[in-house]
Amino acid sequence: MGEDRQRVGRPRSEQARTAILHAVDDLLVEVGYAALTMKGIAERAGVGRQTVYRWWSTKAEVLFEAAITDAVEELTKPPQATLLDDVSTYLEAVEGFLTGSHAGTAYRALLGEAQHDPEVARLVGSAALFDGPSRAVLERGISRGELPPGTPLDAAMAVLTGPAFYLGLTGAAVPGGSVRAFAPALVAAVRELAAD
């Protein structure tokens, strides 16, 4: 596949790698994405600048690797008994992730950067962060019989994720105080999609 880079010579230092990922995590919280620099990351990690560049091209790539695993975990919640509960839980997870979490801050920074850098856009797009969790909710709904088997998943995923995503990204206040209140409406929307 390509995973066998370099067979001779000194092997890559796992210690340096984790020090860099930790440094980028810490610095994002401490100084914010705008003030995050490759120089700063290297110094914080106690690592040569070249060592960072050797394995990642931009601060976006480092941040992506540092944050994406946590991000997926935060969005994955245990199954609920009903579709409505499942959707409510998912919406809450999305809201919490975007507005209150560490990994979510990293994701928003990356998505922001993606708006003016196609390279980062490709990187972030490759994660398709919300796809797995939202698809799981829908598939559980189908297997429970709460949704017809022909439900168009891609469209339904966008319907489930969109509103909370929009509120999180624009920083708008959540109407009604909690995004859980959207659940019945979005379930209705998904059923309507399936009916077409």
Q: Which residues bind DNA (CB under 7 A)?
A: 5-13, 15-17, 19, 35, 37-40, 45-51, 53-55, 58-59
Under the binding rule (CB under 8 A), the answer on residue 79 touching its own copies is no
Nearer to its own copies, 43 or 117 (CB): 117
Contact at 8 Å (CB) between 161 and 168? no
Residues 122, 2: Cα–Cα separation, whole Å: 20
Q: Specify the residue, 39 or 144, whose C-beta has the smaller distance to DNA.
A: 39
Pull the structure tokens for residue 119. Answer: 């390279």
For residues 184 and 190, give the distance between their C-alpha atoms in angstroms, rounded to a whole number: 10
| Dihedral of the alpha carbons of 30, 32, 34, 35, in degrees to the nearest 10 | 0
Per CB under 8 A, does 29 bind its own copies?
Answer: no
Residues 106-165 that bind its own copies (CB under 8 A): 108-109, 111-117, 121, 124-125, 128, 152, 154-155, 158-159, 161-165
List of residues contacting its own copies (CB under 8 A): 32-34, 108-109, 111-117, 121, 124-125, 128, 152, 154-155, 158-159, 161-167, 169-172, 175-176, 181-182, 184-193, 196
